[in-house]
Amino acid sequence: MKSTYISYAETGFFSNLILDYISGKSELKGFYEHAPELSSFAEKIKERKQIAVDRTLLADVLTVQNRALSKNEKVLANIELLRNNNTFTVTTGHQLNLFTGPLYFIYKIISTINLAEKLKQEYPDNNFVPVYWMHCEDHDFAEINHIHLFGKKIEWKEEHHGAAGEISTTSLPAVIGELKTILGENQNAKELIALFSEAYLNHSNLADAMRYQCHQLFGNYGLVILDARDKRLKQTFVQQLKADIFQNTNHKLVSETNSELEKLYYKTQVNPREINCFYLADTKRERIVKTEQGFEVLNTSIIFSKAELEKEIENNPEKFSPNVVLRPLFQEHILPNLAYIGGAGELAYWLQYKRMFNAAAISFPVLVLRNSVMVVEESTNSKIEKLGLSPKEFFAPEEKLVNDFIAANSSADTALTDEQQQMKELFSSIKAKATKVDSTLEASIEAELQKQLKVIEQLESRIVRAEKKKHEIAINQLKTIREKLFPSNSLQERHENITTFYLRYGSGFIQILKDNLHPLDSRFAILQG
Reported as a single tens digit per residue, the pLDDT across 113-126 is 999 999 999 999 99
How many angstroms separate the CA atoms of 18 and 235, rounded?
A: 35
**Alpha-carbon distances of 512 from 119, 217, 523, rounded to whole Å:** 20, 13, 17
Give the pLDDT of residue 416: 82
CA-based torsion, 463, 465, 468, 473: positive or negative: negative
Model confidence at 436: pLDDT above 70: yes
- Relative orientation angle of helices 206-218 and 103-122, to the nearest 10 degrees: 50
Model confidence at 523: pLDDT above 90: yes
Model confidence at 412, in pLDDT bands (50, 70, 90)?
low
Give the pLDDT of residue 406: 84
Q: Of 263, 267, 257, give the one whose Cα is nearest residue 17.
A: 267
Query: Highest mean pLDDT: which of 69-83, 151-165, 188-202?
Result: 188-202
Model confidence at 460, in pLDDT bands (50, 70, 90)?
confident
Give the pLDDT of residue 438: 87
Identity at 99, one-letter amino acid code: F
CB 111 within 8 A of CB 519: yes
- What is the average per-residue pLDDT within 288-316? 96
Q: Which residues pair with 134 in a beta bridge?
A: 94
Model confidence at 38: pLDDT above 70: yes
For residue 228, the SS3 value is: coil
Q: What pTM did the predictor assign?
A: 0.89
Q: Of 6, 55, 2, 108, give the one whose Cα is nearest residue 378.
A: 2
Give the pLDDT of residue 414: 65
Q: Going by C-beta distance under 8 Å and a sequence separation of 6 or more, which residues neighbour residue 286?
A: 278, 279, 297, 298, 299, 300
Model confidence at 445: pLDDT above 80: yes
Beta pairing, strands 373-376 & 523-528:
parallel
Give the pLDDT of residue 299: 92
Model confidence at 410, in pLDDT bands (50, 70, 90)?
confident
Per the model's pLDDT, the better-predicted residue between 1 and 365 turns out to be 365
Q: Which of 159-173, 250-264, 276-290 has the lowest mean pLDDT?
A: 159-173
CB atoms within 10 A of CB 335: 26
CB atoms within 10 A of CB 56: 10
Model confidence at 418, in pLDDT bands (50, 70, 90)?
confident
Per-position DSSP letters for 333-369, written without gaps between them: HHS-EEEEEE-HHHHHHHTT-HHHHHHHT-PPPEEEE
Name the residue ranges covered by the structural domains of the chain: 2-163+205-229+326-372+504-528, 238-322, 378-490
Q: Which residues pair with 279 in a beta bridge?
A: 286, 320
Q: Please compute, for residue 492, the number of CA atoms within 13 A of its CA located in the half-sphere on the CB side.
A: 25
**Alpha-carbon distances of 198 from 50, 95, 181, 245, rounded to whole Å:** 43, 20, 17, 41
Query: Highest mean pLDDT: which of 158-162, 403-407, 468-472?
Result: 403-407
| % of the chain beyond a pLDDT of 90 | 83
- Tens of pLDDT along 315-341? 999 999 999 999 999 999 999 999 999
Model confidence at 229, in pLDDT bands (50, 70, 90)?
very high
What is the rounded average pLDDT for all residues in the chain?
94
CB contact burial 244-264 (16+ within 10 A = b; e otherwise): bbeebbbbebbbebbeebeee
Q: Of 113, 62, 119, 61, give the one whose Cα is nearest residue 87.
A: 119
Give the pLDDT of residue 296: 97
Cα Dmax for the chain? 99
How many angstroms separate the CA atoms of 380 and 385, rounded?
A: 9
202: exposed, middle or buried (C-beta count within 10 Å: 0-12, 13-18, 19+)? Answer: exposed
Give the pLDDT of residue 211: 95
22: exposed, middle or buried (C-beta count within 10 Å: 0-12, 13-18, 19+)? Answer: buried
* Helix (H) or strand (E) run with residue 527 in it: strand 523-528
CA-based torsion, 177, 180, 181, 185: positive or negative: negative
Give the pLDDT of residue 413: 66
Q: Of 66, 402, 60, 391, give the one whose Cα is nearest residue 215.
A: 66
Model confidence at 451, in pLDDT bands (50, 70, 90)?
very high
- Tens of pLDDT along 199-223? 999 999 999 999 999 999 999 999 9
